[in-house]
Amino acid sequence: MAPHSLSDLPDTGDMLEILPEVEESGREEIAHSEVVQAILQEIQETLGTVPGFLRAAEGDPELLAAQWQLVKRYTVEATRIPAKYRALIGLAVASAVHCRYCATHHRGVAQAHGATAEELDEAAALAQYTAGLSAFVDGHLLSPEEAAAETARIQEHLQR
């Protein structure tokens, strides 16, 4: 099971701070390789593997570090939204934007955090509902102002 706090692992942002100094010394290729290897090692230790979407950024240490920080934060670290719900949101978004790779990832992470088959199905249904109605509303050119006013009335009614 992945840790909820990664304070014992090196901060990849700190690793990148050494790059400008090393680049000036002419060791740029070695420095990039060392930074990339340190980041890949942290990913491997944290996730048990290096996903292809992170490995694809190996040629750019800054990009790899930035992507890893986001993945680490929203996949394994504690945030205000519980991990299972973050993964279910990720599944819904990935489904809506038709990213099968992403949907597979978020579905698996949601399952690892205890999501049930029914919750996974509902997240996918919410993606269809939101994306489908969004297309319908856009096609009818309904105004955002009208939506805000209607939503305020709905919110008021639901809070009674």
In the chain, what is the straight-line distance between the N-terminal and C-terminal CA atoms, in Å?
42
Percent of the chain scoring above 90 in pLDDT: 66
Per-residue pLDDT reduced to its tens digit, 102-141: 999 999 999 999 999 999 999 999 999 998 888 888 888 8
- Report CA-CA distances (Å) from 23 to 30, 64, 98: 9, 18, 40
Residues 6+ positions from 110 with CB-CB distance below 8 Å: 84, 87, 88, 90, 91, 119, 120, 123
Tell me if residue 32 falls in helix, strand or coil: helix
Q: Which of 90, 95, 93 is nearest to 113 (CA)?
A: 90
Distance CA 122, CA 154 (A): 22
Per-residue pLDDT reduced to its tens digit, 29-46: 555 788 899 999 999 999
Cα angle: 56, vertex 115, 85; to 5 degrees: 70
